Amino acid sequence: MTMNQQRNRLLAGCRCAIVLLFFGMHSLGFAQQKVIQQLKNADVIYDSERGFQFVDSIRKYVKLNPETRVLLLEKLAVRCLETDRYNLLSKYSIEGIQLARALGKDSSHAFFYKFLGISQNYNRKVDDAISSFKSSIRIAEANHLNYILATNYNNIGGILVDRKQFDEAEKYLLKSIELSTKNGMISKRNQLMSSRILATLYVRMNKKEKCIPIFEMVERESRLLKDTNLICGALVFYTEFLRQNNQKELALKKVEEAVVMMRKFPDKHSLFSTLSTYVSLLEELKRYPEAYEISREQLRTYVAIYNDVNQQQMNELETRFKTQQWKEAQKLAAANANALKKKNQLYVLILAVLIALIVIVVLLIYVRNQKRKNALLRFVQQERLGAIVEGEEKERSRIARELHDGVVQELTALKLQLRATDLEQNEQLANFYHRLDQTAHEIRNISYEMMPVTLRDLGLIPALEDLLQRSFNTLEIDFEIDTVGMEERLPEKVETAIFRITQEL
């Protein structure tokens, strides 16, 4: 494959990866848009319980990105408040606070603090609730979120009314009304709620001249908004005021209208509370048969609330049980996966150990073979060297023997023949004899050095003594040889080697 072909193949792979990444991101974005549309569709589900179940199903079965999850948690918080799931409201609000803070979504951050305060207030953690509302206020003020700011003022004002801190409550409620009025229709409902609480505050403060116009305004504006909850709330609290001021017939008309309106809606808690006021008012007017019938309706409403609560608790228990089952299944699956992973790791470890053992055995065999090979090579070299040395010694012995037995004998015989001849003795002949003796002596020395007869016949020690005697004789140097453990002769090759080493020194 050429370099151009490799480059083209690499570029094609990169293009495919980019296309797949684009389509994956597009599909993920499309899925998130679909979820957002479903959450918007949930707003038109007027049954609070059905709305909660619908939104909660999205939470359970759809994987969301952080931004979409914040929107989902906002919808869940509203539905939890509508269905009185205050513990879940607290849980989702805390999660929403953390997620919104991480994403830098200030409006959602303030929103979740507000709903956390609502859940804490319901659970009678009033100080914590006020702290959460004030945290929401700080975020809303910093980001000019006037709608959330107004609702938080309303919530704190309501708590302070219940705690009978009337002066401080009045300040918060007036702030809420002022901000809501500036916000316009978006805060109209909050304005009317704050006004109704303010009227109740004035009732408790015995400021009747202030509360009557506020009750009438709240009732009138609520009817214009066609907000049933606001209308009923205004009628019920106005009823309590009229009842305390002995205007019972007018109060009866107000509460009857509120009951008629509440019967059309599924808010059983508000209906029960209103029926209780209705019964008390009928009894005060001594209209006992009607009070009895309304009491029966009140009892049926209480039973329905009890059944709903039980059903809700059963549903929550079932959900918890299924969730626990799912978690146990996940744990079991994780444990099985972990066991399989450990099993595979054990197999890999065993395989690695076996491979390591095989490698070690192969290396040991290789090292042993190399040692044998090197030993054999050294043995062959030693044998070869020994053969060379032995051959050299044999050749030396042969030459020495031939010199000693041949040349030296011939020279000796020649000398004897010359002596036996009656030649005239003169100086030249004497010189010839001397040279002949000297030559014979040198040949004997050469023959001795090549193969000393003493070494061959008597052994190493006598041969060394003879060698040193020959070497030091002319120098008049005394010497002495000490030996240990040399009672028996050494092998011939060893003696020859030691003698040759000494000879070379």
Highest mean pLDDT among 88-97, 208-217, 320-329, 447-456: 88-97
Between 443 and 236, whose confidence is greater? 236
H, E, C per residue of 5-52:
HHHHHHHHHHHHHHHHHHHHHHHHHHHHHHHHHHHHHHCCCCCHHHHH
Confidence at residue 418, expressed as pLDDT on a 0 to 100 scale: 64
pLDDT band at residue 350 under the 50/70/90 scheme: very high
Copy the structure tokens of residue 229.
Answer: 């909850």
Contact partners, residue 117, CB within 8 Å, separation at least 6 = 128, 129, 130, 131, 132, 133, 136, 152, 155
Say whether pLDDT at 22 is over 50: no
Say whether pLDDT at 136 is over 70: yes
End-to-end Cα, the chain, rounded Å? 72
Q: Is 249 within 8 Å of 258 (Cβ atoms)?
A: no
Q: Is 51 within 8 Å of 81 (Cβ atoms)?
A: no
Amino acid identity for residue 206 in this structure: N
Q: Which of 19-28, 260-269, 340-349 has the lowest mean pLDDT?
A: 19-28
Copy the structure tokens of residue 404.
Answer: 């000693």
Highest mean pLDDT among 113-127, 222-236, 313-327, 399-413: 113-127
What's the mean pLDDT when you consider all of the chain? 79
Confidence at residue 32, expressed as pLDDT on a 0 to 100 scale: 66
In order, the DSSP letters of 164-231 are T-HHHHHHHHHHHHHHHHHHGGGGHHHHHHHHHHHHHHHHHTT-HHHHHHHHHHHHHHHHHHT-HHHH
Q: Is 153 within 8 Å of 172 (Cβ atoms)?
A: yes
Confidence at residue 128, expressed as pLDDT on a 0 to 100 scale: 94
Say whether pLDDT at 422 is over 60: no
Q: Is 202 within 8 Å of 211 (Cβ atoms)?
A: yes
Between 137 and 472, whose confidence is greater? 137
pLDDT digits (tens, 9 = 90+) for 259-307: 888 888 767 777 888 888 888 888 888 888 988 888 898 888 888 877 8
Contact partners, residue 54, CB within 8 Å, separation at least 6 = 42, 45
- CA–CA separation, 190 and 176 (whole Å): 8
Confidence at residue 130, expressed as pLDDT on a 0 to 100 scale: 94
Amino acid identity for residue 275 in this structure: L
Say whether pLDDT at 26 is over 60: no
Confidence at residue 499, expressed as pLDDT on a 0 to 100 scale: 74
Amino acid identity for residue 59 in this structure: R
Say whether pLDDT at 232 is over 50: yes
Residues of the chain with pLDDT > 70: what percent?
77
- Coil/strand/helix, residue 98: helix
Between 412 and 246, whose confidence is greater? 246
Between 349 and 412, whose confidence is greater? 349
Listed residue (159, 67, 69) closest to 114, CA to CA: 159
Domains of the chain, first to last: 30-136 (1.25.40.10), 389-419+427-451 (no CATH), 455-505 (no CATH)
Q: What does the angle CA 280 – CA 284 – CA 290 come to, to the nearest 5 degrees?
A: 65
pLDDT digits (tens, 9 = 90+) for 432-465: 667 777 776 677 667 666 666 666 667 777 777 7
- Coil/strand/helix, residue 476: coil
Q: Is 445 within 8 Å of 474 (Cβ atoms)?
A: no
- Find tokens 């050429």 and name the residue: 2
Between 20 and 482, whose confidence is greater? 482
Q: Is 64 within 8 Å of 98 (Cβ atoms)?
A: no
pLDDT band at residue 17 under the 50/70/90 scheme: very low
